[in-house]
Amino acid sequence: MELDLAITGATLVDGTGAPARRADVGVRGDRVVAVGDLSGSAARTRIAADGKLLTPGFVDLHGHSDWTLLSDGRARSKVHQGITTEVTGNCGLTPFPAPAAVAAAVRSAAGIVDLDRSVPLAWDSTAGYRATLAASGIALNAAVLTGHVALRIAVGGASAEPLDAAGIARIEAEAERALAEGAVGISTGLMYPPAIFAQPEELAALGRAVARHDALFAVHMRNYGDTLLEAVDETLAVARATGCRLQVSHLAVAGRRNWGKVRQALERIDAARAEGLDVGADIYPYLAGSANLSQLLPGWAQEGGSPAVTARLADPAVRARVREEWRATLHLGWDEVFVSLVDAPLIPLVLGKSIVDAGAAMGLEPDAACLELIARTEDRVQMVAFGRSEDDLRAVLEHPAGAIGSDGIALDPDGPTGAGRPHPRSYGCYPRLLGRLVREEGTLALERAVAMSTSIPAARARLAGRGVVAEGAFADLVVLDPQTVRDEATFETPARFPTGIEQVLVNGAFVLRDGVQVDAARPGRVLDRG
């Protein structure tokens, strides 16, 4: 029987963690149908991959492409990395559910990932979003998390008031509905309003819904600085109370005075796993993060979302109070925080500059400049923040519960989502892992790095048939050159595709052929759990 495609001569790293081996792979339709010696098999297309690696397509466990896949379904910055499946909707920041009465607030709350505001909000539920995305045509697969931020707005608006018993019952029911409509889990962002105001009872309600569906609760914790360990304890308490499967999002810590706490956090996770809890963590191979600049504000100053923040910062007394709190508690130096995206009028002054240099350009002290940027741009000023430890990063990469998630967004450098100087993780996460950390530094064995990028995240999200190269699995495949694979994106020039990723197939169809994207290819699917 003739194959549609035979990839021959490659070194296969199959995603399971098994040793690399020489093997050919045959594809028919959307499935891998043969693994072994295919020298005698007929095939419509043959790729000679001698000297190359063949791996499963990378499964990005922590993505934020909810809006940008609708702006440009080619998912260029992801496809060029070899990402064939993204788990979208992390950190609670989804544009659904969005009932008409609160749709504007939901969209505002998701501003950090809503990079093309010409995309209409054409749904009100998880099911509606999934249908819209499927109909739009996408180059990679998407598995959808539903965000706590949107759920909270749908139930209680942008208020900082704790949900009462009726509100908690309603948010649990809304989470149940989202999971029944195809979400692979619920995510929360406990540093984003109004989720920042959630009490333990509210988090437990979400955990109960997740547990009943054997879905995933992905938690952007309340703090990644001075109180990281307290945040880990809070997160683990939800799993202990509800039995939900827990994913600790982008486990890192910022601020030199906090270095070493990640290893302590992992000890807490080990203890929970020893109790029988299902807990994992994800990370990306960089020493900087990215978020709205307003995330640096104290929680009380973020109440009500972007319009309320802007109005609040018009009061000099409020600014004075924030500056006083920063002087006492801020764990980063202003020279470690850089402006990565900002509205057009301020671009020449501050884009790409540290807050120290931006303040000098604006004639302001750094903390005053930070407040002025937030006040003048609402949710349209973003930062890249450094201050992380190489040892902490290695601790997560080497941990058995670790997985890779880029925390990035599918971007088109030539389109409306290509503005600013975004974190280079959106363009180079996986090639950086394989090129720098595996080949050059030897931080990880190749087989372990591939498993962390494929089968492990696929299993966390319950994506059957993804993340492995085996007979019967979906033909999501990557052919790469192990000697040249490398990220080219930097913090100064992030919009650069990597080198060494040669072929990328999604459901048996080429989306990258000989290093060039097949622009018309839209073989991606919106995936279900199972």
Residues 36 and 147 grouped into a single domain: no
Residues 371 and 259 grouped into a single domain: no
CB atoms under 10 Å from CB of 413, counted, come to 17
In the chain the first and final C-alpha atoms are separated, in Å, by: 30
pLDDT of res. 377: 76
Looking at the domain assignment, is residue 525 inside a domain? no
Task: Render 511-529 in DSSP notation, one character per residue.
Answer: EEETTEE-TT-----B---
Task: Render 164-186 in DSSP notation, one character per residue.
Answer: -HHHHHHHHHHHHHHHHTT-SEE
pLDDT of res. 305: 78
Looking at the domain assignment, is residue 524 inside a domain? no
| Backbone dihedral angles phi then psi of residue 62, each to the nearest 5 degrees | -135, 90
Residues 86 and 180 grouped into a single domain: yes
Looking at the domain assignment, is residue 526 inside a domain? no
Residues 296 and 265 grouped into a single domain: no
pLDDT of res. 320: 97
Can you give 99-154 as a three-state secondary structure string?
Answer: CHHHHHHHHHHCCCCCCCCCCCCCCCCHHHHHHHHHHHCCCCEEEEEEEHHHHHHH
**Distance from C-alpha of 249 to C-alpha of 64, rounded to nearest angstrom:** 12
Q: Which domain holds residue 299?
A: 292-385
Residues 66 and 48 grouped into a single domain: no
pLDDT of res. 379: 58
- Look up tokens 């043969």; give the residue: 34
**Distance from C-alpha of 443 to C-alpha of 446, rounded to nearest angstrom:** 9
| Amino acid letter for position 490 | T
Six-digit token pair at 83? 């990402």
Asked, as a colleague might, if the bond just before 194 is cis with ω within 30 of 0, I would say yes
Return the H-helix or E-strand segment holding 327.
helix 316-329
Residues 475 and 416 grouped into a single domain: no
Per-residue pLDDT of the chain (530 residues; tens, 9 = 90+): 799 999 999 999 999 999 999 999 999 999 999 999 999 899 999 999 999 999 999 999 999 999 999 999 999 999 999 999 999 999 999 999 999 999 999 998 888 899 998 999 999 999 999 999 999 999 999 999 999 999 999 998 988 899 999 999 999 999 999 999 999 999 999 999 999 999 999 999 999 999 999 999 999 999 999 999 999 999 999 999 999 999 999 999 999 999 999 999 999 999 999 999 999 999 999 999 999 999 999 989 998 877 888 899 999 999 999 999 999 999 999 999 999 998 878 888 999 999 999 999 999 999 999 999 999 876 578 999 999 999 999 999 999 999 999 999 999 999 999 999 999 999 999 999 999 999 999 999 999 999 999 999 999 999 999 999 999 999 999 999 999 999 999 999 999 999 999 999 999 999 999 999 999 999 999 999 98
CATH code: domain of residue 9: 2.30.40.10
Question: Structurally, how many domains does the chain consist of?
Answer: 3
pLDDT of res. 226: 96
Residues 72 and 183 grouped into a single domain: yes
Residues 135 and 272 grouped into a single domain: yes
**Distance from C-alpha of 291 to C-alpha of 383, rounded to nearest angstrom:** 6
In sequence order, the β-bridge partners of residue 145 are 185
pLDDT of res. 382: 92
Residue that terminates a domain, selected from 346, 366, 385: 385
pLDDT of res. 495: 97
Kind of pairing between the strands at 11-12 and 53-56? parallel
Looking at the domain assignment, is residue 523 inside a domain? no
